[in-house]
Structure 1
Amino acid sequence: MYTAYKLAHKEFEKENYKEAIKLYQDSISDMKDMEDTEYIKLPLYNIGVCYMKLKRFGKALKYLTEATKIDPKYSKAFFNKGFCHIQLNHNKKALVAMNTAWALDNNDKDCEAIINILLKNLKK
């Protein structure tokens, strides 16, 4: 059942992001029959990260948003949503996503630093 997911992860490690995306999508299809949608958030998140690596931030946001719909407490997904919004110059949306990530994991010092930078930029 997890074969496609494992293969996708190997392709990701080799930086073959387009192939990894296809395999992560296959793994979602494999998991569709599962009652626990929690498992689906991981390939969705990983597809989002692949698109980030390919600098396709709008596409990445789509998958990261889907992951946060499945798990509204997925701080890493919110952090990466914030990063994508920064890359797209959506600073207010970035601040919302980063604040959500930090609220979920207030030990994340990177998130805190980015929030402070965003706040300074928005005050200008």
Structure 2
Amino acid sequence: MKYFEKANDLYNKKQYEHAINFYKKSIETKENEAASLYNTAVCFIKLKEFDKAIINLHNALNLKKESSYFFNLGYCYAMINEKNKALNYFNIAWSLNPKDTECEKAINLILKSYLHKASS
């Protein structure tokens, strides 16, 4: 079984730490490199290790520009309370996929938090 497939299998079993190890091997062998970096980031998100997820997402974006990559980057920045960066990445994701209602919801939540803060 290839590293990427094994990693996906482990991810589906919610064995995120083991999946990360196989995604890393997949990255080293250039097997589905962008997807492996993205999936590694998603594992780190599941483990609430947002700083590690951010690094992997930026690396994935260097290889491929995908709406979901930008969305998850926005999510990570939102989770570490960097709202300006989060808003920026959610907007990029939404511009790439205007039908993504989750992007719109995330943007509106951040904007509401700014409005709430301004009115307090």
How does the TM-score come out when normalised to structure 2? 0.92
1:96 aligned residue: 88
**TM-score, structure 1 as length reference:** 0.89
Partner of 1:53: 46
Structure 2 residue runs of 5 or longer lacking an equivalent are: none
1:1-124 aligned at under 5 Å gives the runs 3-31=2-30, 39-72=32-65, 74-123=66-115, 124=117
Aligned residues: 116
- Asked if 2 retains the 8 angstrom alpha-carbon contact of 1:42 and 1:67, the reply is yes
Is the 8 Å Cα contact of residues 11 and 17 (structure 1) preserved in structure 2?
yes
Report runs of 4+ in structure 1 exceeding 3 Å deviation.
none
Deviation per CA, 1:25-74, whole angstroms, max 9, x where unpaired?
Answer: 00111227xxxxxx3110000000000000000110000111111113x1
Cα offset for 1:15? 0.6
Distance between the aligned counterparts of 1:29 and 1:52, measured in 2?
Answer: 21
> Unaligned 5+ residue runs, structure 1?
33-38
